[in-house]
């Protein structure tokens, strides 16, 4: 009953959890750990999870930055200062390794503080594992497994968002469709492993050719798309020329005599998804009819 009494003292009249004092965290008070766990269970976003955790962990250790490294990459709190010495902790559940939690702090980490942080980790690991599982499922739902590019489902969502923004704010954008010339012969003559290598190489070419505001997609097979923030055709032409140049410079593409044909079109506030896609597709057809290895607008 004592723990129940402590918990009720930490709830406001409106039913909100009140912050615990630093003394609660330094002593790894079970009620403070329970409060942390309650808050961690409110999100599946890795950055938000770390932010919630950091607010509690700073009651124990005055760190300047916090970062989590896993097989999914690196997540960290906003404005994380990673210039100070790092203190790393492996986070595991049974035999499953989740990743490394890294604190950046100018002060030495004492054994006592280390044990207190490990106590907080016990509240973090299960919400963290749930967030990692969610991130992996989300990635599978929106990414092409071979190239790592956005997939057709993600294309439909982002195209709809750009069209809505175009209608409301009159911000034009363009759609570029691309496919690979001679790709079927590569698969037929050299096998699908070489075909996969060619597709991955082309995905790298596309990512190297665009700006940070543009998005690249693979629909399947050798069909790709790029959504470009562009008020006129100038950027389309620059990106198309860059793509074709990098394809011709690629040793792999030259070895298997693969080039690319490109069609693009500019969206307007009156457009619908089918209309803009049909125009870009006609531009791609014009490029094929013109002898391939070229770009055409429509």
Catalytic residues: 222
The answer to whether 226 and 215 are in contact (CB under 8 A) is yes
The DSSP 8-state label assigned to residue 85 in this structure reads P
- Phi, psi for 76 (deg, rounded to 5): -155, 165
Q: Which parts of 80-193 are beta strand (E)?
A: 86-93, 96-104, 173-181
Q: Could you tell me which residues are beta bridge partners of residue 74?
A: 69
* Cα distance between residue 267 and residue 160, in whole Å: 12
Instruction: Say if residues 209 and 246 touch (Cβ distance below 8 Å).
Output: yes
End-to-end CA distance of the chain: 74
Distances (CA, A) of 267 to 167, 278, 284: 10, 11, 16
Q: Is 182 helix (H, G, I), strand (E, B) or coil?
A: coil
Residue 297 has φ and ψ, to the nearest 5°, of -95, 155
């Amino acid at each position: 009953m004592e723990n129940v009494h402590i918990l009720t003292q930490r709830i406001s009249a409106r039913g909100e959890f009140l912050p615990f004092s630093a003394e609660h965290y330094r002593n790894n008070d079970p009620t403070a750990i329970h409060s942390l766990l309650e808050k961690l269970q409110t999100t599946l976003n890795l950055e938000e999870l770390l932010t919630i955790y950091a607010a509690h962990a700073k009651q124990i250790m005055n760190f300047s930055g916090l970062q989590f490294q896993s097989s999914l990459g690196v997540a960290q709190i906003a404005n994380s200062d990673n210039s100070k010495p790092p203190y790393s902790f492996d986070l595991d559940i049974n035999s499953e390794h989740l990743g490394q939690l890294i604190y950046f702090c100018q002060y030495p980490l004492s054994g006592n503080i280390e044990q207190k942080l490990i106590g907080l980790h016990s509240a973090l690991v299960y919400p963290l594992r749930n967030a990692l599982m969610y991130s992996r499922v989300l990635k599978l739902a929106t990414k092409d497994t071979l190239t790592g590019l956005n997939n057709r489902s993600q294309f439909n969502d982002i195209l709809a968002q750009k069209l809505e923004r175009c209608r409301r704010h009159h911000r034009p954008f363009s759609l570029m469709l691309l496919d690979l010339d001679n790709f079927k012969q590569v698969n037929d003559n050299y096998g699908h492993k070489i075909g996969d290598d060619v597709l991955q190489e082309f995905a790298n070419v596309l990512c190297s050719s665009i700006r940070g505001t543009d998005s690249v997609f693979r629909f399947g097979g050798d069909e790709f798309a790029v959504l470009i923030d562009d008020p006129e055709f100038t950027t389309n032409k620059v990106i198309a020329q860059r793509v074709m140049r990098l394809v011709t410079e690629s040793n792999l593409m030259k070895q298997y005599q693969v080039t690319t044909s490109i069609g693009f079109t500019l969206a307007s506030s009156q457009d619908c998804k089918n209309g803009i896609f049909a125009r870009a597709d006609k531009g791609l057809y014009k490029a094929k009819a013109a002898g391939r290895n070229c770009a055409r607008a429509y």
